Structure 1
């Protein structure tokens, strides 16, 4: 970003609000949502600055503003903090107003009330009591804020309010009460109120980043490594889309319709997942894009009303597919398709999502499920066993997604041929499987190892072990931390061979607990009684050696090539 489009500096709350500038929460920004936990945290920070010998400065984090004229600033990130600090000041002014009504030091109290209001809140017309506030909130909150809080209402309405309006009211009441407790017993409460506001305003400071447009704001979010960045980037895109409609002078009902549709999409996806969904969705229909370039790309393509609504409609269409892939237990897909989606999720492979989105729009349910199953097989060969480059895989799936979207590939066979490059050959797969090690200290890896052995067992005996059963456990034949009795292994071999798939077997949990770190002769009798054929096969070995692991794993690899295969491509 050039210096002309980006400015950063540290400013205290006093400098922000006392400089004659105005701040506006964009119309369709999120509503006020802070609660008691956040209020109390902020209040403790404030008290830490105002007490005798307190903090000389307290950092409030980033505040991202957007302005074209350096007079009116849109609050892109930081509205919850900025709004709440304004409510703290309003609670203080409310206390001064009560002192006036009680006739306490009227002249000095009025001066303090007027001075603090003019510095931090803005001008209040003495005849109409209409606020000319330095801060305005979004379309759901501003009317309540300006009508009841800025004029220092003693009894803001509690009924028929929006949830966020109630949050504003409760914050106003909470800080009023906290301030009363803090001033209890003060000999000159008016003076103490003014001292508290001025002191906190001089000691609370922000890193203020000012940008000239949405694109530079988005770059800020991509650069900052701070809490809430991804959510703010989601809001930023929303604000951009609404600004497009606003420029074209769309009616209120159309803006509200867009807002409702947006909130439904983000609500179902959860805001932190939305950027990932949006990228996969975009790739499935248009060009490949990195997350860092996503906002810029959309901004370049979506410039008018038609494009805004087309984007929302397309997201609507793809959202169910994405949710079914990321949360398969909650989808309405057939159980067989859900099972495949669970495997893809267990593998942590997301590169195929754009193709699957595109294919779901093109194929019937049967062919889509067959494609999904094939992609699970590919992912197993390519990622889990092969450990091959994800970048090449991502490009292959994107390229095929484009062919499907453009109508070049319309059948399952076309699509499979289109992604043949990420389907390792039988020879490559068998070679990689024969030497595969899986460190099972992580629960995901342990589950994958169990999954592999379950599939191999079904191939060997026809038995289908329940991968999620608590009665199923993973046994290391040569223990990972043996106590002795494994003289056939050098220290180096114990380090490298115990995590090989050939050294692993399925056991019933009760039997595994009996074994512990027993030596192989003691284990053989347990293995011989196992319900799993592959485990009984181990009992036929006279001794367990590194060579036995290697030979067993080669046999398992040949079996695996018959399980994880795509007949059309083999």
Structure 2
């Protein structure tokens, strides 16, 4: 048996060979959680390569190999006893890179194939450098062999390949562009493996067990503390009691580790990673012989900065009211990424280099930078780099606040100017970007800008975001929108385009009463609001397109006054970013789904014609052929833009899993709406926060009415008595089976969650369905596949697919497989049928059984 450190490139390159996954191995099972962590590691290594750091590689894990019984002298074959998940994932990532560059650099694509993926002169299964289990083999082979139109979709293999295709499109983002060949180099030559090669007769399973026995690791803070105090033979006790123990008592271990990292960053190290904290600080101390006095000085400085750091974590401890207000807003925003810049400002103020008003002004630039980027939908993937670089890049020849303003205004920081802010507030779907607490804070700040003589105490009322024009608009609303719709736009298109824009959103504590009522009813309720913005909405005669856009313009001017602009604009980069977002979301379309030009335009805050022109003129855009007209037809103006494409578009769509109706239109059930597109680029975190928050607040009522009562009141206002009775029986049966019902505060109406797990324990609950009253269009049950993908045991795509299959047995339900990544719904009225009720009850019993047996499976 031999064990050695190696790289993926060294392992698979060279002469023709094959790595075979034994048939007894489990199938490929990595989910987006593991894929996301690997991608972050790959990008980190790519950045280190860019900086010239070639020493800090990333250890990926072990691979245990044994000679295959089919081994030949001229064609070595190895059994992959352990490590098939890693090898399969890296191979799929390389296949995605190959296909990403195939149109523009075909020679490089062929090189990737030859070096890592195939045995060029072999045929059949020997053609593949990696041969998965039989269950995964067809999908894997389809993605490795191509061509594109023959590839199978679905399954964990297809999901992983699509994940990397999507991430490669994101990596082209102008805010933080990544070179695709540097990504390839990081993947093949910077992720280290321990390859354990067994001889015939070795007990490879015992080797596997020993490699996977792990204990509780010491944190970076633990390692550095031990290192420091081992070098304090005479002063250790005094320093520990005077500085270290108070510091340790004031911060958690994680916070202490973060402070130690910030200490290095404030010293100008803009590349150090938290996981490398110990090694970096050790290297700093060991450059020369260091004395106990110097270590004491380091710990004393750490202790001093610990008090400043606590003010970032607990803004109420900041004595100056203007600085305290800024810190509170940034804390509400959950802006931990800005800590290097904030600590720099606190440190400089402590040294007397700027006063509190100047500190608050500098912090206002940080707040504006975050808020304007969120409103204008600038991706957040480079914020760590931006703020970690502040201490080392801050200009020294200007005052601190002015220097920070200047630094953040650089073109490559993408701080939106006033014109872009105005345009995005008018057109962008604000409700679908950022996190819910960030959206709420923006609206709160806009309300505060009215400077009402009796301002609202935002800490007390349970304000939520209300759509004035409802998300699900009834007939009266649609008749009004018909008056406003242009000749080329339907009322439905206008509704989709305007409903999530900032001009249509407000804050209220009575949104359950507002619900989906006509505007006249909403006016009466909004008139009595304590919020100035609501009284102004109530003062208008109607609420259509013109009123929403006029309010958007007013809010834009308030936003410009609240959040300072950069020193110079970002020019044409704004348009490039918008199209980059389009590329990302189109690349993310799951197998078996399509979207329309109008849906994509509403998601972007653009026009359908502009979207069509861009897609038609952009070569190599993944999945561009899956953007169709609203009727599900291929646009008359569609043309293949890449030399490698061509042929019949409908045949290509069929190969992509799109079904067609008898009149030749794509199946509307497979259409991905504007709301679905937004879900594709968000994780399950928003869904989980919503559900768990609802679960924790189940027992609360409002005005003497419990949330359960409110849910059924709203349901009864829109659905038949039979449907209401059926839903009551469904919830009762769920509780009898050991589940419980969580009722949400609701963003438009209330809701009911069919919960399992421990109430009030974030991260531990799970729910298969969320029920919503219909607000004029019939109540619905939302199947939360997106949430389930982050919860065991339903991280297994096969289990989610089984849930989908069981639901599709109900008459009237036909959820396409492509929506396993989303949150499709069906009408609650379908449950009036006896057969459907029984099938759903059996499905929910099966779901509970999967949950109950997850630890013993």
User: TM-score interval w.r.t. the shorter chain?
Assistant: 0.5 to 0.7
Matched with 2:421 is 429
Matched with 1:268 is: 250
The match for 2:334 among 343, 348, 363 is 348
For structure 1, which segment, 310-319 or 409-418, has the greater mean C-alpha deviation from structure 2 after superposition? 409-418
Kindly report which structure 2 residues correspond to 1:308-457, keeping only aligned pairs within 5 A, or say none. 308-329=295-316, 331-362=317-348, 363-382=354-373, 384-390=374-380, 392-403=382-393, 409-421=398-410, 422=413, 423-439=415-431, 445=436, 447-457=437-447
The offset of 1:496, in angstroms, is 5.6
Separation in 1, partners of 2:227, 2:308:
26
Q: Work out the CA distance in 2 between the residues paired with 1:333 and 1:569.
A: 34
Say yes or no: does 1:298 pair with 2:281: yes
Unaligned runs of 5+ in 2: 7-207, 349-353, 483-490, 570-857
Is the 2:364–2:563 Cα contact (8 Å) retained in structure 1? no
What's the CA shift string for 1:21-59, capped at 9, x where partnerless? xxxxxxxxxxxxxxxxxxxxxxxxxxxxxxxxxxxxxxx
Q: Counterparts of 2:554 and 2:399 in 1: how far apart (Å)?
A: 39
Classify the secondary structure of the residue corresponding to 1:377: helix
CA positional deviation for 1:295:
2.4
CA distance in 2, matches of 1:484, 1:418: 51
CA shift at 1:265, angstroms? 2.1
Q: CA deviation at 1:318?
A: 1.9
Tell me how far apart the structure 2 counterparts of residues 321 and 481 of structure 1 sit (CA, whole Å): 48
Aligned counterpart, 1:68:
none
Contact 1:328 1:341 in 2 (8 A): yes
Q: Secondary structure at the match of 1:352?
A: helix
Give per-residue Cα distances to partners, 1:240-293, cap 9 Å, x unaligned: 2233x16xxx32x43562476334323312012222222223112221112233
CA distance in 1, matches of 2:210, 2:497: 50
SS in 2 for 1:517: coil
Q: Distance in 2 between matches of 1:206 and 1:264?
A: 42
Looking at structure 2, the residues matched to 206 and 357 of structure 1 have their Cα atoms a distance apart, in angstroms, of 45
CA distance in 2, matches of 1:339, 1:414: 22
The count of residues paired between Structure 1 and Structure 2 equals 345
Query: Could you give the per-residue CA deviations for residues 529-557 of structure 1, whole angstroms, max 9, x where no partner exists?
Result: 54444323323544433554344323321
What displacement does 1:341 show?
Answer: 0.8
Q: What is the CA–CA distance in structure 2 between the aligned matches of 1:206 and 1:265, rounded to whole Å?
A: 40
Distance 2:463 2:4 in 1: 63
Inter-partner Cα distance in structure 2 for 1:355 and 1:380: 16
466-475 or 346-355, larger mean C-alpha shift: 466-475
State the alpha-carbon separation in 2 of the partners of residues 461 and 370 from structure 1: 20
Distance 1:4 1:260 in 2: 46
Aligned to 1:53: none
Using the TM superposition, give the Cα deviation of residue 560 of structure 1 relative to its aligned residue in structure 2, in angstroms.
1.3
**Deviation at 1:4?**
7.8
State how far apart, in whole Å, the 2-side matches of 1:472 and 1:391 are: 30
Q: Alpha-carbon deviation of 1:353?
A: 1.8
Distance 1:394 1:542 in 2: 47
1:392 to partner: Cα distance: 4.5
Are residues 1:514 and 2:528 paired?
A: no
Q: Is the 8 A contact 1:281 1:357 kept in 2?
A: no
Q: Secondary structure, in 3 states, of the residue corresponding to 2:337?
A: coil
Q: 1-side partners of 2:242 and 2:341: how far apart?
A: 28
Task: Give the SS at the match of 2:476.
Answer: coil
Q: 1:235 matched to which residue of 2?
A: 222
Distance 1:460 1:538 in 2: 14
Change in Cα spacing, 1:483 to 1:441, as seen in structure 2 (3 Å) is farther
1:557 alignment counterpart: 556
Distance 1:537 1:254, change over 3 A: closer
280, 291, 308: which one aligns with 2:262: 280
SS class of match (1:485): helix
C-alpha displacement of 1:307: 4.5
Q: Summarize the alignment of residues 452-491 of structure 1 with structure 2, pairs less than 5 Å apart.
A: 452-460=442-450, 462-463=452-453, 464-470=455-461, 472-482=463-473, 484-487=475-478, 488=481
The CA deviation string for residues 215-249 of structure 1, in whole angstroms up to 9 with x for no partner, is xxxxxxxxx8x9x65x6332122222233x16xxx
Q: TM-score if structure 2 supplies the norm length? A: 0.36
- Structure 1 residues without counterparts, runs of 5 or longer: 7-204, 211-223
Q: Are the aligned partners of 1:483 and 1:517 in contact in 2 as well (CA < 8 Å)?
A: yes
Distance in 1, Cα, partners of 2:432 & 2:5: 50
- Structure with the largest fraction of helix: 1
Partners of 2:452 and 2:459 lie apart in 1 by 18
Of the two, which has the highest radius of gyration? 1
Change beyond 3 A, Cα 1:313–1:436: farther
Q: Quick one: distance in 2 between partners of 1:361 and 1:543?
A: 53
Q: 1:110-259 residue pairs with structure 2 within 5 A?
A: 229=217, 232-243=219-230, 245=231, 250-251=233-234, 253-255=235-237, 257-258=239-240
